Structure 1
Amino acid sequence: MSPRRKTFFTKRALPALLAALLAPGAAYAFSPFVVRDIRVNGIQRVDVGTVFSYLPVKVGQEFSEAKASEAIQRLYASGLFNDVKIDEQGDVLVVSVKERPTIASVSFNGMREFDSKKMIQSLSQVGFGEGRVFDQSLLDRAVFELKQQYLSKGKYGVEINPIITPLERNRVGVNFDIFEGDVAKIRQITIVGNKTYSEGTLLDELQLTTPGMMTWYTGTDKYSREKLEGDVERLRSYYLDRGYLEYSAEPPQVSISPDRKSIYITFTIHEGRPYKLSSVKLAGNLLGLDDKIQKLVQVKAGETFSAAKTNATAKAITDYLGGLGYAFANVNPNPVLDRDKHEAALTFYIDPGRRVYVRRIQIGGNTRTRDEVVRREMRQQEAAWYDANSIKTSRDRIDRLGYFNDIQIHTAPVAGSPDQVDLNVDVKEKPTGLINVGVGYGTTDKLMLSAGISQDNAFGSGNTLSLQVNTSAINRTAVVSHTNPYWTKDGISKTTSLYYRRTTPYETSYTDGTYAVTAIGAGLNFGVPISEFDRVFAGVSFERNTIDLMDNPPAAYQDFVNTFGKSTNAAIFNLGWSKDTRDSALAPTKGNYTKLSGNFSTLDLKYYMLSAQEQYYMPLGRSFTLAFNGLVDWGKAYGGKPFPVIKDVYAGGIGSVRGYEGASLGPHDTNTNDYLGGSQRIVGNVQLYLPFPGASRDRTLRWFLFSDAGKVSNGSGECAAGPGNSIEDPCGWRYSAGVGFSWQSPLGPLQLSYGRALNAKPGDNKQAFQFQIGTGF
């Protein structure tokens, strides 16, 4: 006789099943029995112990209809199985399951907006990824997550089709076929509820814009949820900075056109009224520094409340206390409103916390750069009081090395020592070796080629080695140099160099290159830091110059050969000082740069050249910068011989007086009309930088209005003109004005200018449009 067999139920129709179980006289009614054994059928990857863990019964225990129902629900709720069936064969409980497939791989086809690896990590956070059990609900959630990522980038037309491929061993491969579509562009931005400030004024504060001339590059006309949230905060800050403490805004309304290509945004705001400060007080633990802290307060009673000034005051006090060792100082500004008078009583609550000192400074992330290269830039010392200002200066100095992509300085409390902290300096190194080949074009130097190899952090020592070669229609140069920025522990730098330079005439229509000057030299220079911004430098170089005269050379160069000979030797000593407080070397908006230097030459060429330069940048509001530049060179010979023409300085063109051809100001040769330059030069520039429309993403992209002035002359008073004295007053002042454009483009630094010569004389070589660009490949 066959063994007794009872099939209780399966999960396939779970609601009906539960109803059947609860109904009297269920079809699957059976008598309880004691389980002699448990057998599991159908498992492939799931461990049999996992199945046992979900069963409410063990061998030797009684099994009933209630426990059968519970077992089915538990196994199905685990999410591991598509089908569950329980049988009884001769007091043996048989559990038959059908496992759900697992995800063997996740891939994307057509994804360009995101990195595949990062997207896989994002999907794993919602429970969808390799090794996970495949489930339709999880797949739907993954598709939803993908769409949300694309919607945040403004791609509302995205289409995502998951393709499921069955694999052996009950696995599946999931491939998302994606059609990204175009980014929806913002066609209209509307601000509702503004009364005090015009819509145009408020729109200027937003990062998002409607399509414009430069939005193809900046992308500000492409909708982004993150940018929208930032613009909401910008509007709020704009009003709070002007005293509108009751300003509020509703969530911005974003609508999309039926073709999913156009976005319309509406901001609804409630301005309120501006508040004036009735009083400004300090409270809390002032450490007896009331007078000094009071000087840091930037807001005064009677003024309109400004969130920017209030936050700046809190930061200034925090930084001040941080400089005294209070690393965890906390300053909370609290305005109390009098709505009837529209006044606010502002109190700064100060909690300096405990004063701490730095126990240890630890350098991390530098796999190649030596610890000492980073440590010698630290202005915060170990076993000294914590100084926030010194730590900031340290970070800036490490950043200026140029060896690292990222520098982070973290403060870590010392366990068991509340008055101590450790500083962890974490750096991320970048390649500092460079092999480059470049090409550029300028209106003066024409085609320019360059090549070089350099290592800014040779062997992780912080030293610089380089070989650079440049050639153009006028100049050919090769330089080999080595710089040790810490030749001494005090930060004195040493630079040694060898150079070769060959110069041909600055050509005009009268010359075909009738001479060449070749200079070969070696130099040794030292730089001595005297403050964080000031540096004194001194050095000496030895130089040998050779002149090759060809057919019809300039008279000035014939006279030089007659006086000095074709070959000359010179020992040139230099001494100088520089100070740089600019906020950026690429696109400064404030600060100044000052440089004074002098060269003194002896042996065959006896002369000296004094030079001074001053740059000053004045911010005008948030987006405008007024820049001033002045340059003076004054050279003179001694020993009874004239100033050597091969050491003349030049002006004209980009970098000096625009609107005139490059190097064309000053004396011209009487035979060939070549530009000779002079021993004295004065140049002045005034430039107003304005933001380029829609270019808020790139601060180096700017246009400007300029006015230039300059002159070049000889100290002897001689100012030779071209053939037939065709140039009137060549050594007099020249003025120009115009408009320009500058950009640190992906192809290299680009500068364009259109200048008009304001007082050009007969014979001057004018050049209204000038540009210069360089690139590397």
Structure 2
Amino acid sequence: MNLNKYILIVAGILITLTSFSQDYLKPQEYEIGPIFIDGADNFDPQAIKAIAGLRQGDKIMIPGEKITQAIRNLWEEGLFSDVQIYADKIIGDVVYLKIALQPRPKLSFFTFSDNVSKKEADKIRPEIDLFSGKTISENLVNTTAFKVRAFYIEKGFYNATVNVVRKEDTLIANSEYFFIDVNKGNKVRIRDINFYGNESIKAGKLRRAMKDTKTKAIWRLFKNSKYNRTAFKRDKNNVLNKYNEFGFRDARIVRDSVYLINNKNLGIDIVVEEGSKYYFGEIEWVGNTKFRSGYLDTILGIKKGDPYNKALLEQRLFMSEDGRDITSLYMDRGYLFFNLTPVEISITENNHINYQMRIVEGKEARVKNIIIRGNTKTNEHVIRREIRTKPGDLFNRNDIIRTQRELAQLGYFNPEAFQVNPIPNPQDGTVDIEYTVEEKSSDQIELSGGYGAGRIIGTLGLSFNNFSTKNFFKKGAWQPLPSGDGQQLAIRAQTNGRFYQSYNLSFTEPWLGGKKPNSLSVWLNHSQFGNNFKRKDPDYQGVSISGFGVGFGRRLKWPDDYFTSYHELSYQYYDVKNYSNIFAFDDGYSNNIAYKFMLSRNSIDNPIYPKEGSKLTFSAKATLPYSFFDGIDDYSSLTSQERFKYTEYYKIKFTGEFYFPLSKDKKLVLMPRFGFGMMGAYSQAKGISPFERYYVGGSGLTGINQLDGREIIALRGYNDPQNNQGVSSALGDPIVAKYTMELRYPISLNPSATFYVLGFVEAGNTYTSFNKFNPFRVKKSAGLGVRIFLPMFGMLGLDYGFGFDKLDPHSNGYSNHNTTIKQKGFNGVLHFTIGMNLGEL
């Protein structure tokens, strides 16, 4: 109870006492007669009497405690600014009481001064919780001013002042409105953070331990330097945690002060008392039968004499990110009911802390039931086949973590909403495991139009990533398409009429037979472009390309089950009629029959925004060595069409990408990537095939171009090769090298619209022969970009890159690009990208 309220209650009691002509030292008993209420027309009289605790017919001592308590009861409701109880009249031993009340005014509305923006006001309203009809009190006024000022302090306006002015509302009786007058003042930043008493740990290390309280600096992009009371309190604990890491477990902050240096800068002084340094002493294991004490010491990794670090000890005992902890050791072997209690048993004179690790191993738990919830679209068997915890198996926490990754890789569920709930059954030593998923859209549509070569080109593409052929002929399954069996079906058509048409169809069954993760893929494509005449017309000029392929993939168990292999047999037929500047010949045909092998290891945790893991891929593609048995020694007399009637080559590629989280919440991610590719010939006389070559430059938007199997590889900051300005030769090159480094940060990880920004540096080049190959002679660039993933359209992005190097003389864009470099010192290009890895090796 505040002082003003206390004074008013006392005054009310005194007024009440003086209203009775009575000897105060000789209280007299009365019977309460009728009770009258005055001044509270909007309140229920019976409710007021009930709150006061006075009832007609009761006996009451005057003066006495009951009147005092009645006044106190009415005051505590907070509805009245004045409360009086007095005797209206006394007849014999019956007293007629009157309760005189002055209701507090009600709030009709509130408004802010003009310097408060609409955006700020919208954020403040939920904090102050004001509404029409709310009873006004001094406490409400003070609380409102405090909360508004706290809002601006959080925004960096440390000098902000707030005055809540009460004004009478003449339109509504007994009502007032608030005018909240805000003076923000200058934005104040932290200039200095000073530590005193820190003899063992440098101030710089302590400042770095403060995650959210930072001094202002031009290089600080993700942490600003505004003062936040809550964050500062949290960071003071971080300072103590840093001391604890070095063995100073008695360290404490004696005092701290936050002060204004000037009207734009704050200073913070922190005085610490380090205390004595402690060390780990003897560590004794008790109750362990599964593992020897020496092996547990090795897993723990803490030796006698190491500086005492409680956080490290708890991490190694209970939960380490790399799985190196005692609890994981037991739980990965079925000991779900395992319990470990570290107990400090003594501290020696030289500050060595001796521990006894008390272990209760419990029974080995086996998985009994697997429960799946939340799958409204995906069939249960699709989820169950990815789950590593099988009924009857020993409980294994690592299998649960791996299951989470495998389900995320499917792309059907929101990885941020994935939940696992082990349900132990101690009576029979089993555990039920409940997996809860949240479905998200995985199908994609591409509907676009473009203008090129004087014509409009339209594209329609559909990708169904959770398709079901089994339900294809079931009428009720078309909602709008049969789905839920995890198959992938993609259809794409592109045309601008007779001049250009392209059709693609692909289908993948990821679990052929339903027993093992063996995938079967089939694809078909057909493209044709020409001069608008029909093919039978003698004036027809054009190219027709048709192909198909069959692929078989397997998940391997060795070296580990992150590895997969893929085998593919493909056939591509090129038919050229009177058409130049595309292929090595103007008239004729060529057959491309090739076998492809791919070995890949993928431990990336999330396909949309990976935070950790890696992906390494080795691939080889080759045709038959026709030159070994075609009986031709001299190809110089043959035409290009005759030489490449059956194209021959071999290609080898090796690529890798890695993801390293740099922040504690794993949102800031560093992604390095590299790739090498080479193409060779079986016969030097016949030469390297003109098909399947590498083209570098631009956004890599076209990925693998179906014109001649060329691979167009992105290099931001340089122009696209199809514009005759690329890094590579006009007909492509047989060798390529590329390196990329990206720093990524998400703005939103919502599965319906994942959005992140990135900065990149990259370098790459192609080479005309092995003699010219130099992995360090590359074209460098840097820039910024954004990516947005929409389930319906896939990954979209914009990059602006700056290329810094002149192109080699063999490059298709040699003259134009180098002219720009000479004039500006850089070549700036805006790139539009589609897809996750299109345009990469």
* C-alpha distance in 1 between matches for 2:165 and 2:524: 65
Matched, 1:537 2:566: yes
Judging changes above 3 Å, is the alpha-carbon distance between structure 1 residues 113 and 568 closer, same or farther for their aligned structure 2 residues?
A: same
Aligned mate of 2:302, from 288, 299, 307: 299
Contact preservation (8 Å) 1:358, 1:382: yes
* Superimposed CA distance per residue, residues 44-64 of structure 1 (whole angstroms, 9 cap, x where no aligned partner): 665555323223333332345
- The aligned runs of 1:156-555 (5 Å cut-off) are 156-160=158-162, 162=164, 183-196=187-200, 198-200=202-204, 202-207=206-211, 208-215=213-220, 217-229=221-233, 231-250=235-254, 252-259=256-263, 261-271=264-274, 277-285=280-288, 287-288=290-291, 290=293, 292-305=295-308, 309-314=312-317, 315=319, 316-327=325-336, 329-331=338-340, 341=350, 343-345=352-354, 347-352=356-361, 356=365, 360-364=369-373, 374-381=383-390, 385-402=394-411, 403-404=413-414, 406-411=416-421, 413=423, 419=429, 422-428=432-438, 432=442, 461=484, 485=510, 488=514, 490-493=516-519, 519=545, 521=547, 525-530=551-556, 532-541=561-570, 543-545=572-574, 547=576, 553=581
Judging changes above 3 Å, is the alpha-carbon distance between structure 1 residues 521 and 185 closer, same or farther for their aligned structure 2 residues?
A: farther
- The aligned runs of 1:108-187 (5 Å cut-off) are 110=116, 116=122, 120=126, 123=128, 133-160=135-162, 162=164, 183-187=187-191
* Superimposed CA distance per residue, residues 613-665 of structure 1 (whole angstroms, 9 cap, x where no aligned partner): 1437598999998967352334446999765413223457999898997799x
Report the TM-score, using the length of structure 2 for normalisation.
0.66
* C-alpha distance in 2 between matches for 1:190 and 1:363: 54
Aligned mate of 1:631, from 676, 679, 689: 676
Q: CA deviation at 1:347?
A: 4.9
Which residue in the other structure is 1:15 paired with? 10
* Superimposed CA distance per residue, residues 382-402 of structure 1 (whole angstroms, 9 cap, x where no aligned partner): 565432212222223333344
* C-alpha distance in 2 between matches for 1:170 and 1:371: 64
Amino acid at match of 1:189: I
Which residue in the other structure is 1:51 paired with? 48
In terms of mean alpha carbon deviation, does 223-232 or 107-116 score higher? 107-116
Amino acid at match of 2:11: A
Report the TM-score, using the length of structure 1 for normalisation.
0.70
Which residue in the other structure is 1:713 paired with? 769
Contact preservation (8 Å) 1:327, 1:355: yes
Contact preservation (8 Å) 2:622, 2:650: yes
Aligned mate of 1:736, from 759, 767, 777: 777
Judging changes above 3 Å, is the alpha-carbon distance between structure 1 residues 322 and 277 closer, same or farther for their aligned structure 2 residues?
A: same
Judging changes above 3 Å, is the alpha-carbon distance between structure 1 residues 132 and 524 closer, same or farther for their aligned structure 2 residues?
A: farther
Aligned mate of 2:731, from 673, 676, 684: 676
* C-alpha distance in 2 between matches for 1:311 and 1:385: 25
Amino acid at match of 1:81: F
Matched, 1:60 2:57: yes
* C-alpha distance in 1 between matches for 2:766 and 2:493: 31
Amino acid at match of 2:140: L
Q: Specify the SS of the correspondent of 1:736.
A: coil
Amino acid at match of 1:50: A
Which residue in the other structure is 1:594 paired with? 616
- The aligned runs of 1:743-758 (5 Å cut-off) are 745=786, 748=797, 750=799, 752=801
* C-alpha distance in 2 between matches for 1:114 and 1:286: 62
* Superimposed CA distance per residue, residues 444-492 of structure 1 (whole angstroms, 9 cap, x where no aligned partner): xxxx999977665677735556677999xxx999866565655635444
Q: CA deviation at 1:296?
A: 1.5
Which residue in the other structure is 2:690 paired with? 645
In terms of mean alpha carbon deviation, does 285-294 or 102-111 score higher? 102-111
Contact preservation (8 Å) 1:399, 1:407: no
Contact preservation (8 Å) 2:489, 2:507: yes
Contact preservation (8 Å) 1:481, 1:495: yes
Q: CA deviation at 1:516?
A: 9.0
Q: CA deviation at 1:84?
A: 4.1
* Superimposed CA distance per residue, residues 681-715 of structure 1 (whole angstroms, 9 cap, x where no aligned partner): 26375x788999xxxxx9975676x887864438x
Judging changes above 3 Å, is the alpha-carbon distance between structure 1 residues 237 and 492 closer, same or farther for their aligned structure 2 residues?
A: farther
Which residue in the other structure is 2:839 paired with? none
- The aligned runs of 1:568-587 (5 Å cut-off) are 568=590, 570=592, 572-581=594-603
Amino acid at match of 1:646: F
Amino acid at match of 1:310: L
Q: Once superposed, what is the RMSD of the aligned Cα atoms?
A: 5.6
Q: CA deviation at 1:222?
A: 3.0
Q: CA deviation at 1:137?
A: 1.0
Which residue in the other structure is 2:537 paired with? none
Judging changes above 3 Å, is the alpha-carbon distance between structure 1 residues 597 and 206 closer, same or farther for their aligned structure 2 residues?
A: same
Judging changes above 3 Å, is the alpha-carbon distance between structure 1 residues 282 and 187 closer, same or farther for their aligned structure 2 residues?
A: same
* C-alpha distance in 1 between matches for 2:622 and 2:407: 35
Q: CA deviation at 1:579?
A: 0.3
Q: Specify the SS of the correspondent of 1:646.
A: coil
Which residue in the other structure is 1:444 paired with? none
Amino acid at match of 1:530: L
Amino acid at match of 1:404: N
* Superimposed CA distance per residue, residues 496-519 of structure 1 (whole angstroms, 9 cap, x where no aligned partner): 556577999xxxxxxxxxx99775
* Superimposed CA distance per residue, residues 10-42 of structure 1 (whole angstroms, 9 cap, x where no aligned partner): x99542332355579758999865345555566
Amino acid at match of 1:536: S
Q: CA deviation at 1:187?
A: 2.1
* C-alpha distance in 2 between matches for 1:406 and 1:118: 29
Judging changes above 3 Å, is the alpha-carbon distance between structure 1 residues 659 and 482 closer, same or farther for their aligned structure 2 residues?
A: closer
Contact preservation (8 Å) 1:12, 1:83: no
Amino acid at match of 1:645: P
Judging changes above 3 Å, is the alpha-carbon distance between structure 1 residues 598 and 399 closer, same or farther for their aligned structure 2 residues?
A: same
Which residue in the other structure is 1:717 paired with? none
Contact preservation (8 Å) 1:653, 1:663: yes
Amino acid at match of 1:136: E
Amino acid at match of 1:631: F
* C-alpha distance in 1 between matches for 2:831 and 2:120: 31
The runs of 5 or more residues in structure 1 that have no matched partner are: 1-10, 441-447, 505-514, 693-697, 715-728
The runs of 5 or more residues in structure 2 that have no matched partner are: 1-5, 320-324, 451-456, 468-478, 531-540, 625-643, 701-712, 746-754, 789-796, 835-841
Aligned mate of 1:607, from 632, 648, 651: 648
* C-alpha distance in 2 between matches for 1:708 and 1:201: 39
Q: Specify the SS of the correspondent of 1:595.
A: strand
* C-alpha distance in 1 between matches for 2:404 and 2:243: 34
* C-alpha distance in 2 between matches for 1:618 and 1:633: 26
* C-alpha distance in 2 between matches for 1:449 and 1:309: 60
Q: Specify the SS of the correspondent of 1:745.
A: strand
Report the number of matched residues. 704
